[in-house]
Amino acid sequence: MKWILYAGILAMTTSAAFAETINFDSDRPGAPPTGWIAGVTGRGTSHWTVEADATAPSKPNVLKQSGEGTFPWCVRKGVALTDGFVEVKFKPISGREDQSGGVIWRWKDGNKH
């Protein structure tokens, strides 16, 4: 499965109300996003890079997964969310078995998220 994450993480907490939008527009195309770690649960290899995409809601960049793996993941380090919400946009670009994406919370490591 290969897909694009358009991004847009919005969070609100009860302790300090704030909203944050995260996109990849200031990251260098062709490289992984700054402050994120990536891997795969199961078999295969993930390959996450920031890429320019004219269809991005927030132009110019998106986060693209172009590897082959059971469950590729990419996680932003140092994020904590309490009583809030997360919203993301995905665009499947290939694959037959599982054309989907999702949000990970309570992530510990690549096999215990």
Q: What is the pLDDT of residue 27?
A: 92
Do the domain assignments include residue 107? Answer: no
Do the domain assignments include residue 71? Answer: yes
Do the domain assignments include residue 110? Answer: no
What is the tally of structural domains in the chain? 1
Provide the b/e sequence for 52-83 (b: ≥16 CB within 10 Å).
ebeebeeeebbbbbebebebbbbbeeeeeeee
User: Between 65 and 11, whose confidence is greater?
Assistant: 65
Give the pLDDT mean for 79-105: 76
Q: What is the pLDDT of residue 14?
A: 46
Cα 79 to Cα 10, 17, 90, 94: the distances in Å are: 12, 15, 20, 29
Q: What is the pLDDT of residue 10?
A: 41
Do the domain assignments include residue 106? Answer: no
Do the domain assignments include residue 111? Answer: no
Q: What is the pLDDT of residue 83?
A: 73
Give the pLDDT mean for 75-94: 79
Do the domain assignments include residue 38? Answer: yes
Q: Is 88:9 a contact under the CB 8 Å cutoff?
A: yes
Do the domain assignments include residue 31? Answer: yes
The pTM of the full predicted model, rounded to 2 decimals, is: 0.75
User: Between 19 and 10, whose confidence is greater?
Assistant: 19
In whole angstroms, give the CA distance from residue 18 to residue 71: 31
Do the domain assignments include residue 28? Answer: yes
Strand order in the sheet with 48-52: 48-52, 61-65, 2-5, 90-94
**Structural domain span for residue 77:** 2-93
User: Between 6 and 32, whose confidence is greater?
Assistant: 32
List the one residue out of 25, 10, 32, 104 whose CA is nearest residue 62.
Answer: 25
In whole angstroms, give the CA distance from residue 13 to residue 10: 10
pLDDT tens digits for 23-77? 899 999 999 999 999 988 888 999 999 999 998 888 899 999 988 888 888 888 8
